[in-house]
Amino acid sequence: MSILVNKNSRIIVQGFTGTEGTFHATQMIEYGTQVVGGVTPGKGGSKHLERPVFNTVADAVKDTQADVSIIFVPPAFAADAIMEAAEAGIGLVICITEGIPVQDMVKAKNYLQGRATRLIGPNCPGVITAGECKVGIMPGFVFKPGKIGIVSKSGTLTYEAADQVAKAGLGISTAVGIGGDPIIGTPTKEAVELLMNDPGTEGIVMIGEIGGSMEAEAARWIKENNRKPVVGFIAGQTAPPGRRMGHAGAIIGGADDTAAAKMKIMAECGITVVQTPAEIGSTMAKVLKK
């Protein structure tokens, strides 16, 4: 089992013929992902990577029955791409683009309200169900099939956690990189809830960072609904207050935004908190045996 994507998912790539879209679509196809076509306005009717190119998402959906879209569109146009995918009835939109203006994302998120479209990202590495489907930019070889789910704000730490879990003799069901921007489509709690309800996931790794309240909200939900062991890590433990660290959303704005405060809340809510990413895999192996 898995969440969000699987071997039957039908993916289109928005920004298909651009440099990033081409490179990562090639990697996704090599992984075995069902990339059924792509969208580049003005190039409809052509072929790229032996797949059809369409002028609009609506045309792509009509012709290919795609249900997932991944977006490699420049920041100025990415929010419009998200809304176009939702308007066309795409169920899952994964936006890789970094640097989308906040006001554009406010508009896009409001547009999604009440629609049957889930957004992952933006500024995220994507989603991978190990051994079945990769919709993103993550190195697929790191993700060995198994029963541990990952929810992470950080792409690099997602890969590190997957590697640690594999080295501990475990594997990954689905890993979700939710994105590090201030406004994202799917917060930590919702991604954790999906994994908690997935019968194919036996344990969850939750990776957060300084800034915002998503980790605390997820921790409090876990306290009330926990049915599986959760191992947590917070990046940015030495970050100075008031300075953005890497991701646009990684800035300490108050006492509860610090790594120490989040780790304390997580521990109080029953999450096993580790001090370094290197402990994630071994710690998960231990808590699964309890």
Structure tokens at 114: 């009440």
Q: Is the pLDDT of residue 214 over 90?
A: yes
Report, as residue numbers or ranges, the catalytic residues: 247
The tens digit of pLDDT for each residue in 176-202 reads 999 989 999 999 999 999 999 999 999
Which residue type, as a one-letter code, is found at position 219?
Answer: A
- The CATH code of the domain that includes 264 is 3.40.50.261
The count of structural domains within the chain is 2
For residue 94, give its domain range: 11-120
Q: How confident is the model at residue 238 (pLDDT cuts 50, 70, 90)?
A: low
Mean pLDDT (the chain) is 93
pLDDT at 280 exceeding the cut of 80: yes
Q: What value does the CA radius of gyration of the chain take, rounded to a whole number of Å?
A: 18
Separation between Cα atoms, residue 170 and residue 148, nearest integer Å: 7
Whether residue 29 contacts residue 36, with contact meaning beta carbons closer than 8 Å, is answered with no
Q: Closest Cα partner for 285 from 202, 195, 193?
A: 202
Q: Within a domain: residue 128? A: no
173 Cβ partners below 8 Å, 6+ apart?
Answer: 1, 2, 3, 129, 130, 145, 146, 147, 148, 149, 195, 198, 200, 201
- pLDDT (average), residues 100-113: 97
Which of 71, 92, 120 is at the close of a domain?
120
The domain that contains 41 carries what CATH number? 3.40.50.720
Number of neighbouring beta carbons within 10 Å of residue 248: 18
pLDDT at 243 over 70: no
Predicted pLDDT at 252: 47
- Flag whether 133 is in a domain: no
- Percent of the chain, pLDDT > 70? 93
